[in-house]
Chains A and B, each alone.
Chain A
Amino acid sequence: MRRTILGMIHDAGSGHPGGSLSCVEILVLLYHCLMRHDPGNPAWPGRDRFVLSKGHAAPALYAVLADCGYFPVEELSTLRRFGSRLQGHPHMQSLPGLDCSTGSLGQGLSIASGMALGLRLRGSSARVYCLLGDGELQEGSVWEAIMSAPALGLSNLTAIVDNNGVQLDGRTCDIVPVEPLVDKWRAFGWNVRRCAGHDLDAMAKAVSGIMTGPSVLIADTVKGRGVSFMEGDCSWHGRAPDDGELADALAELGPC
């Protein structure tokens, strides 16, 4: 999956490798373990929904969706190109399998909360999952949704924070710290779990169980995970690897 993502961004000549590599296991867990969905029927009303609030991780989501069979894997190489269904940030009108368009940080959790409310009104048992970045939590509007979701009693809403600790300009803790995340979300009335965000078993265990009210998983991850020269380095937030860097990264990641 990481090889595919880096190849896509390399071919596109632009994109966000750091935040895409940090959420690979989270997306794999969602689409291959947790979520009820049907690639043969993307609009199935009973499906669980997913909102990629950190829309710049689109390459990772596209790679997972293609892996699930929502569209041909060959199409991944069209990322960010003119006329492509794989827009730089997710565009649901273009691509099957997307439940929401995103791109402007700080909005996805409110949308996901609205979807969860709508599903409850319809009597649906479907869940809504929303993936946020830790830097994204600096957007004040996120906290509006964190405040309102418990008030709405949305037990069918799960937020996941890809807590990779790095944003465009540097380490989140050096810019505007967002910790302590567990205390903050809990104080706002959420069911909070925290675990390693590259450990599928740990995450699956952390999000299991029926809970009253909305839930959040703080998934501790590494930006650029899997490529030593990208890990934890903010310069890889938003630039594509060149030919040599891609070769080095692929060599490090090993064969598929």
Chain B
Amino acid sequence: MLSTDLRPSREGYLQGLLDAAEIDPRVLVIDGDVGRSLGTQAFRERFPGRCFNLGIAEQNMACHAAGLALEGFMPFYATYAVFAVGRALDQIRTSICNMALPVRIGGAHGGSSVGPDGGTHQALEDISQTRSLPGMTVLVPADAAQTRQAVLASLNMPGPVYIRFGRNPVPQVYGEEWPVVSGRGNLLHEGRDIVIVACGSMVAPSLEAREVLLGEGVDATVIDMVSVKPLDGKLLMETTGSAAGVLTVEDHQVTGGLGGAVAEFLAVNRPLPMRMLGVPNRFGESGTPGELMGLFGLSTGGIVTAAIDLARSRG
């Protein structure tokens, strides 16, 4: 399923915006002086009256998006995820979520994908920050095609939506035909022994890990939980009936993100042994994304090790 042809997910975000604007006159784009980085300058050229650059002022962006939404528009504002969410968290909470406004927040350069810029620029808390907000939908697509689909799907979702995507080229998990649905994860492979639940850039290495695990005698289910909130609890119940446990994998702090969401669900509905891969209560540092993934145990090898540990825990 994985294509060796790498593409950055941000390309999918831009394509999604262009396609969304063609079909939905409510769509506007708000830039925060990263238009050249995200490619939204192409949007400005195609839809010059529907794109506004508010400069380096994330709080102002979030509230302008709220104001535009109050007037019937569906603004997409995007900047680097660490600032799009963290810098404007109170604005997102009080001025967007509190009024259940249809603002779409694009969190670019999510996770460790902005590697060399270092810890200040690596968004590792954005999923937990957005997931805790009432009414917020949180989508973490795995590749460019799914990011485009997430943008298009968000047109029909109620309330605010956060879409987190990465900077660097990643393997293509999907063809364009896989739609994103709120509250729906994608079952990519069924296996007998354990269930791996991943999101974003961790889906591709999870699929690679599955192949390695087969050689180790472990047959893993792989789920892409693109909709972190609402979580696909039905899919978790359907796939974990005979599993030894669940392994979550995310390029995010190990607390409060996908792993936390899955753990919350399973603790109530089907307590199972779990292993949670993520960034362990620390900041990132400069390095290539590959080096950082290795440091955090988020490599294919790290997933394999954790999966074997989980599979053998049943004894």
| A interface residues (Cβ-Cβ under 8 A, vs B) | 91-93, 99-104, 106-107, 110-119, 121-122, 141, 144-145, 147-148, 151-152
Contacts and interface: CB of A to CB of B under 8 A. Distances in A.
B129 interface: no
B63 A145 contact: yes
Contact of B95 (A91, A99, A107, A148): A107
A208 to B, nearest CB: 25
A113 B67 contact: yes
B63 A118 contact: no
B55 interface: yes
A117 B75 CA distance: 12
Contacts of B63: 107, 110-111, 113-114, 141, 145
Contacts of B308: none
A115 B94 contact: no
A141 B99 contact: no
B61 to A, nearest CB: 8
Contacts of A112: 67
Given A92-B99, A107-B91, A114 B64 contact: yes
Query: Which residue, of A102, A103, A144, has the highest number of chain B Cβ atoms within 10 A?
Result: A144
Nearest to B90: A104
Given A93-B99, A101-B98, A148-B54, A118 B59 contact: no
By DSSP majority rule, is chain A's interface helix, strand, loop, or mixed? helix
Contact of B68 (A104, A106, A114, A141): A114
A239 to B, nearest CB: 24
A148 B49 CA distance: 17
Nearest to B49: A121
Contacts of A103: 94, 98
B64 A110 contact: yes
By DSSP majority rule, is chain B's interface helix, strand, loop, or mixed? helix
Contacts of A111: 63-64, 66-67, 70, 95
Given A104-B95, A114-B65, A148-B57, 15 more contacts: A100-B70, A104-B91, A107-B94, A110-B64, A112-B67, A113-B67, A114-B68, A117-B52, A117-B64, A118-B70, A119-B71, A141-B60, A141-B91, A144-B57, A148-B54
B34 interface: no
Interface string B66-104: 111111110100000000000000110111001110000
Contacts of B98: 91, 101, 103
Contact of B70 (A99, A147, A148): A99
Contacts of B52: 117, 152
28 contacts: A92-B99, A104-B91, A106-B59, A107-B59, A107-B94, A110-B63, A110-B64, A110-B66, A110-B95, A111-B63, A113-B63, A113-B64, A113-B67, A114-B67, A114-B68, A114-B69, A118-B67, A118-B68, A118-B72, A118-B73, A119-B71, A121-B28, A121-B49, A122-B72, A141-B57, A141-B63, A141-B91, A148-B60
Contacts of B62: 110
Contacts of A118: 67-68, 70-73
Contacts of A93: 99-100
Contacts of B60: 110, 141, 144-145, 148
B59 A144 contact: yes
A144 B100 CA distance: 24
A122 B64 CA distance: 16
A141 B98 CA distance: 19
Contacts of A151: 55
A104 B99 CA distance: 13
Contacts of B75: 114
